[in-house]
Amino acid sequence: MLKSTVVSGPKCPSCGDKKMITDETTGELFCGRCGFVMSEKISDTGAEWRSFANDDTNRTRVGAGTSLTMHDMGLSTVIGPANKDSTGKPLTSSMKSSIERLRTWDSRSQAHSSADRNLRQALNEMDKLKDKLALTDAVVEKAAYIYRKAMEKKLVRGRSIQGLVAACLYASCRNTETPRTLDDVAKGINIRRKDVARCYRLIFRELELKMPVVDPVKGVSRIASIAELSEKSKRKAVVILEQAKKIGMVAGKDPMGIAAAALYLACISTGEIKSQKDISIASGVTEVTIRNRCAGLRKMLQN
């Protein structure tokens, strides 16, 4: 559909009419009477991005949005890497060396205190983990917010950056109900599970975080895809877990353990051949745990 605006502009050189039409799709300005194209490229004066702020400030033409995942929240300026002036001509050798020194000092001035350097390193680690664990932007944004709060409470001093970053990411996954275990996060950042757990307990206690109860249904699709199970078994496992949730059997149990047990029972029900060992490897839960959870689920299904 043609999106156009009628404006009163200069006279048409062809017919002399003043009625001009702006086509916002193609960026053309043409005469409404004879169709003579006055200009082919019109700069868009609309908003670059939408502003959802409650205050009166109009941010619609101020570049990219701010983000907690950048140490300066995306508000600082950067000297570009191209060694060219405003007209596109290459810089002279003396000017090039001056600009290089300016770039170096500009980079240093953005993180002048130890807290700024710590935050920059932590956010870089988060960015690496985001790709390793296939996390969404919302999860990393939440993790960056938790890390900044930990810095305000002075919980960072004397503790490893990797441990606190992993703990913040795990807390963010729990908060947004993203199915990532403590082992996944510890393996992704290459530190001991015990260290991540210790840092998580610290930020959970000091920042008084409120965590939702983990839904075992969220872990079903993940285990099923790793173990290469059919869609039929997956759906049957979800039905079993919904029944277990209704009678309150899920509360206090490891969500991955009960999800793995439900999948194993679903495989037996649908006739799909999968051993406990296969599901144990896919879920990261021991076979003993799966057997114990299966016993409870079997009793529930028999009643």
- pLDDT tens for each residue of 205-236: 998 888 887 788 888 888 888 888 888 888 98
First to last CA, the chain: 61
What was the pLDDT predicted at 201? 92
Question: What is the model's pTM?
Answer: 0.64
Residue 17 in contact with residue 34, Cβ under 8 Å?
yes
Would you put residue 37 in left (φ > 0), alpha (ψ -120 to 50) or beta?
A: beta
Question: Does the pLDDT of residue 152 top 70, yes or no?
Answer: yes
Question: Does the pLDDT of residue 146 top 60, yes or no?
Answer: yes
| 63-113 pLDDT per residue, tens | 566 777 776 676 667 777 888 887 888 888 888 888 888 888 877 776 677
As separate numbers, helices (DSSP H) first and strands (DSSP E) second, the chain gives: 11, 4
Helix or strand holding residue 22 (H, E): strand 19-23
CA distance 18 to 246: 72
What was the pLDDT predicted at 43? 66
Residue 48 in contact with residue 60, Cβ under 8 Å?
yes
- Model confidence at 253, pLDDT cuts 50, 70, 90, reads confident
Question: Does the pLDDT of residue 269 top 50, yes or no?
Answer: yes
Which of 14-18, 53-57, 64-68, 161-165 shows the highest mean pLDDT?
161-165
Amino acid at 154: K
Q: Which pair of structure tokens corresponds to residue 253?
A: 């149990």
Return the SS3 of 91: coil
What was the pLDDT predicted at 164? 92
Contacts of residue 228, Cβ cutoff 8 Å, sequence gap at least 6: none
Question: Does the pLDDT of residue 125 top 80, yes or no?
Answer: yes
Question: Does the pLDDT of residue 286 top 70, yes or no?
Answer: yes
Tell me which residue has tokens 């969500």: 255
Percent of the chain predicted with pLDDT > 90: 12
What was the pLDDT predicted at 2? 46
Question: Does the pLDDT of residue 144 top 50, yes or no?
Answer: yes
Show the domains of the chain with their CATH numbers.
10-39 (no CATH), 114-207 (1.10.472.10), 216-302 (1.10.472.10)
CA distance 213 to 245: 12
What average pLDDT does range 123-152 have in this prediction? 89
| 23-66 pLDDT per residue, tens | 777 778 888 888 888 777 666 665 555 556 555 555 555 556 67
Burial of 225 (0-12, 13-18, 19+ CB in 10 A): exposed
What was the pLDDT predicted at 34? 86
What was the pLDDT predicted at 172? 92
Helix or strand holding residue 168 (H, E): helix 161-175
Burial of 5 (0-12, 13-18, 19+ CB in 10 A): exposed
- Model confidence at 130, pLDDT cuts 50, 70, 90, reads confident
Q: What is the mean pLDDT of the chain?
A: 82
- Model confidence at 1, pLDDT cuts 50, 70, 90, reads very low
